[in-house]
Amino acid sequence: MLRQTFESEIGESYVKAVLPNGLKIYLLEKPQYTSAYAIFGTKYGSIDTCFSVDGEKICVPEGIAHFLEHKLFESEEGDAFTRYAETGGYANAFTSFDRTCYLFSCSDRFYDNLAILLDFVQSPYFTQQTVLKEQGIIGQEIRMYDDSPAWRVMFNMLSCMYQNHPVKIDIAGTVDSIAQIDADLLYKCYNTFYHPSNMFICIAGNIDIDKTLKQIKDSIKESSPIEIERGEFDEPYEITESYTEQALEVAQPMFCFGYKEKIEAEERTVKERIRTALLLEVIAGDSSPLYERLIKQGLINDEFSFEYFTGNGYAAVIFDGESIDPKAVAEEIKKEITAIKEKGIDKKLFSVVKRGLYGDAVRRFNNVEGIAMQLVDCAMNDSGLFDEIKYLKSATAENVYNRLLLLDNNNTVLSVINPKEK
């Protein structure tokens, strides 16, 4: 087992270990804390609908990664939630575009809870009868999200932004697509993407690192190596539509305004993501002139936010929130970006923003859940836990300005959810 320890200038350290079968393990010990947070995950999400294994090309129904997440909690003896109820652990799971994670948090009996996690994630049990039952449950979930304004405003935007990339498809799939799922397909996807070489374990909190590593090493099942070739995404730079709207039950209009970026590599690097985070704070953060203007004009409220939405084959800068006039908000954002391109980044504002993000990065080490989620990002991006602090320190207004040049006012989508007329 390869084992490394990484230390930082802020007094934190963590261990990264890699088992011979390729499983990556990230552990950060917090002996002064009473709780622990553990995640067992795989690099497998909703966009992985086409892939090749040992030369065989396979395409599966949309939503199967999410379906598999639901089914993995079940076994012939019962379900994992019942076992966690006996140990006092809180368990959950989630599927996103590029990952599936199973997790628990606890303040007692950590190693008993870890044993449950290591067991059920490695013990798939699928039958056609249980699959049929789950199709009905997830079908209801899909219909519920079809009526969710926050969900629809996002996916309506992605549908207009992306022509071919599966990121535009709902993570849970559609009622029609999940109807095509059977037990054999679930086993095929499980045996492909739940191989230790494609998985990771991330834990933070009151643990003993040596004891935890031994328990994981002794519990991980041996697997024969496989070669996974993921699908390539032939996604053009251009959007399909610049505006979309839908009427749902909302008190006032909701919006999602996104800038589609051109992808030349598979994913943005950590350095690029940090610089983009700084850029977004400069453009529309609480200290920015744009934010102050929009608040004074009553165009946004405290629901306004922004993010850098990026992964394998996709990248977009997104602003969202509530507004009496979403089109006016979009135009103000465009104007601000044009002005910053012409005048440059205000050095005083940049300094304020940089100090704020650095403080946020340091404070996140006070929360075991936040640390564990950051460790997941490390596993996904093959990066270091302290890279964010390192790149924040080295960022300058000039190199952040270079990220601004990728935002094209002619390649945007505005998605709006309007209140239904009474």
Number of H helices, E strands in the chain: 15, 17
Q: Is 39 helix (H, G, I), strand (E, B) or coil?
A: strand
Chain centre distance of CA 282: 23
* Whether 116 contacts 89, CB under 8 Å: yes
Q: What is the DSSP letter of 393?
A: H
Secondary structure element (H or E) that encloses residue 13, with its range: strand 13-18
* Whether 284 contacts 333, CB under 8 Å: yes
- Tell me the angle at which helices 347-363 and 387-394 cross, rounded to the nearest 10 degrees: 170
* Whether 55 contacts 232, CB under 8 Å: no
The CA distance from 90 to 106, in Å, is: 6
Catalytic residue among 29, 62, 69, 235: 69
69 is catalytic: yes
Residues belonging to the chain: 422
Distances from the Cα of 223 to the Cα of 58, 123, 162, 226, angstroms: 21, 13, 37, 9
Q: Which residue numbers are catalytic?
A: 69
